[in-house]
Structure 1
């Protein structure tokens, strides 16, 4: 028998309004890798969301797994990987963070690194540059995080959110680097105080699971949405329509262009059907918070099959 591993990583949304670069929420949309040792590298994409022309040396999974192994003075052995994804690229649903988390776990497994959860939080956040999406993909649930100057991550982990989420995914890409270019370099003190207070209240509302307040403060961002909203198709129209249909609140998912609403569980499919009719150019998906985070299971296969 030969050993394989299945690595399942949830996608995520970040910021949720004013929680800029620090709040992340895992979603029940997944990146799924089936990994086995091989004689040579092979990465097979079996998902519509993934490109079909794969250059191994330029593939994010390969590059991050190799970098992770090198951190511990290990050499990454060749692997055969089958990769499936429900996360469209450059849409604000944590596709790159999920790939980074999966690649770190890949190196952990095949190089026998014995990484702790804290190691995974630190390494993934260091590579991402901020801890919002990465911590959510590692831990599941909602994470409120800080990364210090040494790359050490401190996280408050909120589980069992009793609400649903709806994502509005347009058929356009927006890279985070492009979305960051429209942000101001600095804020006046009074403006920054107001923006910071909104972020504090959002975090406190999530911890206390006060969903009406969560929605209110999701819509109170002053750090990035006022500057990025012009890049986002139908952002203001979606925000208004979602509120009228019963959403607690609506915000950009990460840097966009996906928009996310938090809604009462009872609205569910009724809310989605209404939004699909009003925004036919968007893919509208109902999802929940994933509470497991990264998940690995061994798959034993007959070497001759």
Structure 2
């Protein structure tokens, strides 16, 4: 059995902690054979555990404590701590591992609820499970129907990921956010998010991209942690891209662009920072898959 989970990009600018898309980078977990103890084979770095202390197994065994130990193989092309849902992909894979090996028969809705409880918000985990574009919210005080979510088709476009050669932990990125907004500021921020979502649903990418760049919730505060954001926004304006936004907590920046603008935009991004990883991606429409 092989479990495949897509990378995700959260927020889309003003859709803070609510909106996300699934992307064509993947974490894969392959179940190899029974074993005396749990073992994960991987080449992801010495800091990633290979035993039951790995996040994947912590989650799986919390949901299904009596699972028979297995040898597993884990591979991933999702960069760590870059705002592309690397930890969320592991959470979702751990839930699915327990679901399959423990015969839990979890519904998609229940997987989203469990993953959100673990992650704290649904913007990464929901699209990793369902695929495509997802808008969701989390009611902390409710137990029933605590994670309403809607999946919708994200309009076709090219997606470029500008992935800096530096990590940015979510905890650090959240530390610069304000504790409160005025009522007037919150209304404006919410209205921008509403228009962005409506534009996506209407396949109006020029308007959606414009609204992504008008975020009031987080990008203006996190911009100082991501020095290339202003430069990339300028490139987008000059080259006719739909827009760009800080992916999750950063430092990755996602650029949405028409197909005929992609090649030149990528060349300019390479020139901006030769050490950055520049990837052309697409929307993953299916979410988690088991083969």
**TM-score, reference length from structure 1:** 0.90
1:114 to 81, 105, 117: 105
Distance 2:273 2:235 in 1: 10
Alignment root-mean-square deviation, CA: 1.4
2:53 to 38, 58, 68: 58
Distance 1:31 1:233 in 2: 28
Q: Which residue of 2 aligns with 1:229?
A: 223
Worse overlay, 143-152 or 176-185: 143-152
Worse overlay, 145-154 or 169-178: 145-154
Q: Which residue of 1 aligns with 2:161?
A: 167
2:13 to 2, 17, 25: 17
1:94 pairs with 2:90: no
State the 4+ residue runs in structure 1 displaced beyond 4 angstroms. none
Distance 1:282 1:243 in 2: 21
Q: Which residue of 1 aligns with 2:115?
A: 124
1:85-134 C-alpha deviation (Å, 9 max, x unpaired): 11111100000111100110001111111111111111111111001000
Q: Which residue of 2 aligns with 1:206?
A: 200
**TM-score, reference length from structure 2:** 0.94
Distance 2:179 2:206 in 1: 32
The 8 Å contact of residues 39 and 50 in structure 2, kept in 1 or not, is answered as: no
Q: Which residue of 2 aligns with 1:67?
A: 62
Q: Which residue of 1 aligns with 2:41?
A: 44
Q: Which residue of 1 aligns with 2:263?
A: 269
Shift of the alpha carbon at 1:268? 3.0
Give the 3-state SS of the residue equivalent to 1:131 in structure 2: coil
Unaligned residue ranges in structure 2 (runs of 5+): none
Worse overlay, 180-189 or 260-269: 260-269
Shift of the alpha carbon at 1:160? 4.9
Q: Which residue of 1 aligns with 2:133?
A: 142
Distance 2:248 2:183 in 1: 25
Structure number with higher strand proportion: 1
The 8 Å contact of residues 269 and 286 in structure 1, kept in 2 or not, is answered as: no
Unaligned residue ranges in structure 1 (runs of 5+): 298-305
Distance 1:255 1:86 in 2: 19
Distance 1:90 1:155 in 2: 25
1:115-160 C-alpha deviation (Å, 9 max, x unpaired): 1111111111111100100001001100000122335221111125
Q: Which residue of 2 aligns with 1:300?
A: none
The total of aligned residue pairs comes to 286
Distance 1:229 1:17 in 2: 12
Q: Which residue of 2 aligns with 1:158?
A: 152
The 8 Å contact of residues 42 and 50 in structure 2, kept in 1 or not, is answered as: no
